[in-house]
Structure 1
Amino acid sequence: MSRKKAARHKSIIDELTIHPSKRVSELASALNVTTETIRRDLEELAQQKLISRTYGGALLRQAVEPVLNERHKANLAERAAIGKKAAPLLKDAKVLMIGSGVTTVEVAKRIVYEMSNITVITHSFGVARVLSFNPTIKVIMAPGVYHAEESATHGSVTCQFLTNYTADWAILGASGLAPTGPSDALVDAADVYQQMIRQSTHNMIVADHSKFDRMATARYAKWNEIDHLITDQKPSGPLKKALSSEQVQITEAPLQ
């Protein structure tokens, strides 16, 4: 594949990530190419099972997400934008640990398209299901007590299993981001995230602005343990001050 075509294919995936359904004419206009060229590109991407063709357009192919609590249904566009920004920062990694949640699933969706020949250790069935679309990605599932609402394993067995591995990055979501650190609504999930942080060289939080200045049940880290926050808006006030004080790098992922 030529470099020009590869770049065009990536641009098509980028467009479909933000706008999940696009017509051929819209993609042709956005990429400044002919509709014939777009049709050929879409056929090739469909053959690779990266998209699904529709009448006159295309849909980004995604694994069916498990049923989660109603709180996970908000800000999906923001989470998709966060995933798009997060994945390139992981490009040099060989081993990742990924926690559960809708936003981490969005990161996994981007990893599928942008990374290869890596190992991912996760306790999230949603993350594992998404990563299965890329056969070059080795997925190691952490055992434990199954939590149906989060579609993930938790508990002492999960945490003990993670001590057998090390990773370049841990990628974690959060229910709340307070000046004292990130937190999760589930105590058992927080325990798993703490262990992932201990096992990883670098740690990344992916969370949208609705989590700012909120404290959930269980804090799982202090900001001096976190290297990077990917979010859709810039924090302000005490949260911004805390992140700056602990030298947490912030990458903003605004909606297009």
Structure 2
Amino acid sequence: MSRKKAARHKSIIDELTIHPSMRVNELASALNVTTETIRRDLEELAEQNLISRTYGGALLRQAVEPVLNERHKTNIAERVAIAKKAAPILKEAKVLMIGSGVTTVEVAKRIAYEMNNITVITHSFGVATVLSLNPTIKVIMAPGLYHAEEGSTHGSVTCQFLTNYTVDWTILGASGLAPTGPSDALVDAADVYKQMIRQSTHNMIVADHSKFDRLATARYAKWDEIDNLITDKKPSGPLKKALSKAEVQIIVATVQ
């Protein structure tokens, strides 16, 4: 690869880091090259699995997420605000499923504070721990292979176990929110989330704006399978259009 092309590829990644979803003509204008050149560059970057091509543009692929303990240190105010908006929506529910992640743990904290006499099925030890603060909440832990960095169980045993239950709501986080749907950096976690969605009457995604226009390794749902997205900013562009088309209710939490 020539130095000129390598520099251009780096510039494209830099642009997508600032604006995770961009169209071909926007990138061509930003880099002062033709749209044909940009299209060739995007195809090469997609082959390297650095980006994902979209109709007329590109999405930056989500890098491997930091481990759970590191993620707990970021976007704290946003997660708290999201949890405060999420809990009231669940007030009529009697049985829930909750996936792993830092935002879902925050929602679980709020559930422990606001709700009583419910049953929660989870594969996340963090979720189970905070729910145990409320003795009226019955927590059922899904068995499976333990993933130490995520503090949760995964695998076929976990997914099979979940088929024994039907719930009112499933609450899930995400590594990325793209027009094609929510996704997770861990394939095994995505498999669990798919099963949780199958077992639930209603499905909720809780994720802050840093996940917008990001595509992680494994998509676990289409937007028409999701009822609510609770986030801290309004989505825009293709993501907003996809959510609107799928009739996903977007609830924006104000950060204090």
The bucket for the TM-score relative to the shorter chain is 0.7 to 0.9
Sequence identity (%): 86
Structure 1 residue aligned with 2:193:
193
Does 1:84 find its partner at 2:89?
no
The 2-side partners of 1:69 and 1:85 are apart by 24
Within 5 Å, which residues of 2 pair with 1:1-256? 68=68, 70-256=70-256
Q: Deviations over 1:224-255 (max 9, x none)?
A: 00000000000000000000000000100021
TM-score in terms of structure 1 length:
0.73
Deviation at 1:74, TM superposition (A): 1.5
Q: Deviations over 1:26-69 (max 9, x none)?
A: xxxxxxxxxxxxxxxxxxxxxxxxxxxxxxxxxxxxxxxxx725
The 2-side partners of 1:81 and 1:69 are apart by 20
The 1-side partners of 2:84 and 2:70 are apart by 23
Structure 2 residue aligned with 1:52:
none
The 1-side partners of 2:153 and 2:84 are apart by 26
The 2-side partners of 1:117 and 1:84 are apart by 19
The one-letter code matched in structure 1 to 2:171 is I
The one-letter code matched in structure 1 to 2:94 is K
Q: Deviations over 1:74-116 (max 9, x none)?
A: 2111001100100000000000000000000000010011100
SS at match of 2:169: strand
The one-letter code matched in structure 2 to 1:250 is I
Deviation at 1:120, TM superposition (A): 0.1
SS at match of 2:230: strand
Kept after mapping to 1: 8 A contact 2:212/2:235: yes
The one-letter code matched in structure 2 to 1:172 is L
Deviation at 1:189, TM superposition (A): 0.2
Q: Deviations over 1:190-217 (max 9, x none)?
A: 0000000000000000000000000000
Aligned pairs, how many?
A: 190
The 2-side partners of 1:238 and 1:89 are apart by 26
The 2-side partners of 1:113 and 1:127 are apart by 13
Q: Deviations over 1:108-155 (max 9, x none)?
A: 010011100000000000000000000000000000000000000000
The one-letter code matched in structure 2 to 1:68 is L
The one-letter code matched in structure 2 to 1:190 is A
Q: Which structure has the larger Rg over C-alpha atoms?
A: 2
The one-letter code matched in structure 2 to 1:195 is Q
The structure 1 segments of at least 4 consecutive aligned residues displaced by more than 4 Å after TM superposition are: none
The 1-side partners of 2:102 and 2:71 are apart by 10
SS at match of 1:81: helix
RMSD over equivalenced CA pairs, Å: 0.9
The 2-side partners of 1:92 and 1:236 are apart by 31
The 2-side partners of 1:69 and 1:219 are apart by 23
Kept after mapping to 1: 8 A contact 2:144/2:156: yes
The one-letter code matched in structure 1 to 2:122 is T
SS at match of 1:73: coil
